[in-house]
Amino acid sequence: MKVLVTGAKGFIGRNLLAHLKSMRQFEIYEYNRESETQILDVYCQEVDFVFHLAGVNRPEDESDYMKGNFEFTLELLNRLEKYGNTCPILMSSSIQAQLNNSYGISKKASENLLFQYGEETGARVLVYRLPNVFGKWCKPNYNSVVATFCYNIARELEVKVSDPLTTLNLVYIDDVIHEFIRALHGKGNFSGKYYEIPSVHQATLGQILDLIRFFKESRQNRYVPKVSNSFEKQLYSTYLSYLPTDKLSYKLKMNKDDRGSFTEFLKTPDRGQVSVNISGPGITKGNHWHHTKVEKFLVVKGEGVIRFRQIGSTEIIEYYVNGDELEVVDIPPGYTHNIENIGESDMVTIMWANEEFDPEKSDTYFSEV
């Protein structure tokens, strides 16, 4: 199948092209504002599906709205009609087409033109009125508040919010692309006159700003976002895509002593925390028990033995573990336990606890195994 993408260098176009190319099923024609106009004649003769994503949303002169949106749409449709090509056309419009501003008027005029073309030629037309789209590769400090917040906060630049209670409807770029691919295969989400992206989020500017600041602070406090919340998960992925390339890493505080080290890696208020424990050869750590706290130990390097003794019992239980055969050992409550490095090099253990460490309520009681 031959697919034409106009606006190929734009935010949505770039993401769509990356996905289409990864599928390796299509011959893709790319058209952008730098392309020679004549190439449209070649494309419009051969193409089997058009993603019409080109448009103007922030010109220097308001008259350019109609030129970049309506007039280019007319030019595209005239070429398709000239060659008798009635292939399906998907156009990305905007919810602003409902508004009486220059941009909205130009998008509404483009929609009407496309609908008229469909009636006259029998071509299948698919118009998506998109709300605020966010995700990787969107230009910051332009017309996306999410991109601007992510970019500026990642660089400790000023962020201005006129009204934090302003509510936005947002869709994630991957959800948009997924829906567009479904539409390409004739399975788009049709709702009356228009097609829609099924997954729309609502959030205030204040909520968005607070979340992005939380993401930035997570490097210091080691908290991770609630990935069970799709918006928070998608916003976090978006934020990370705006990190400066020389700021992709960050150091953790290693609590070191002559036995080795213990380092908190990440934590959540509802899923506990993960830490990295390094023990030198011959070192034993632990010898304590918990009433309620439980843990999981996973030795990923070296070899050791994990010992248990139930409180009130003299029986010792041993589990031998090593980094060559990964094995998770559960640490139940009511058992004093320790872990000993019985190898000749450092032993590295990943440890998960079902609660973050609270020095005021540690639920940790020392007792030799």
pLDDT digits (tens, 9 = 90+) for 211-239: 999 999 999 999 999 999 999 999 999 99
Residue 60: pLDDT band with limits 50, 70, 90: confident
Residue at 2: amino acid letter: K
What percent of the chain lies above the pLDDT cut of 70?
A: 100
Mean pLDDT of 262-271: 93
276: alpha, beta or left? (left if phi > 0; alpha if psi -120 to 50): beta
Neighbouring C-alpha atoms within 13 Å toward the C-beta of 139: 11
In angstroms, the CA 37 to CA 243 distance is 36
Mean pLDDT of 245-265: 97
In angstroms, the CA 358 to CA 8 distance is 52
pLDDT at 64: 81
The terminus-to-terminus CA distance of the chain in angstroms comes to: 68
Mode of pairing for the β-strands spanning 132-134 and 167-172: parallel
Residue 59: pLDDT band with limits 50, 70, 90: confident
Mean pLDDT of 45-50: 97
Q: Please give the torsion angle defined by the CA atoms of residues 83, 86, 90 and 95, in that order, rounded to the nearest 10 degrees.
A: 90
pLDDT at 61: 76
pLDDT at 49: 98
Mode of pairing for the β-strands spanning 2-6 and 167-172: unpaired
Phi, psi of 16, deg, nearest 5: -65, -45
The overall average pLDDT reported for the chain is 96
Answer yes or no: are the C-beta atoms of 297 and 319 closer than 8 Å: no
Among 31, 43, 103, 242, the active-site one is 103
- Does 27 score more than 90 pLDDT? yes
103 is catalytic: yes
Taking only the tens place, the pLDDT of each residue in 167-178 is 999 999 999 999
Q: Which of 353, 342, 326 is nearest to 282 (CA)?
A: 342
- Does 67 score more than 90 pLDDT? no
Mean pLDDT of 148-154: 98
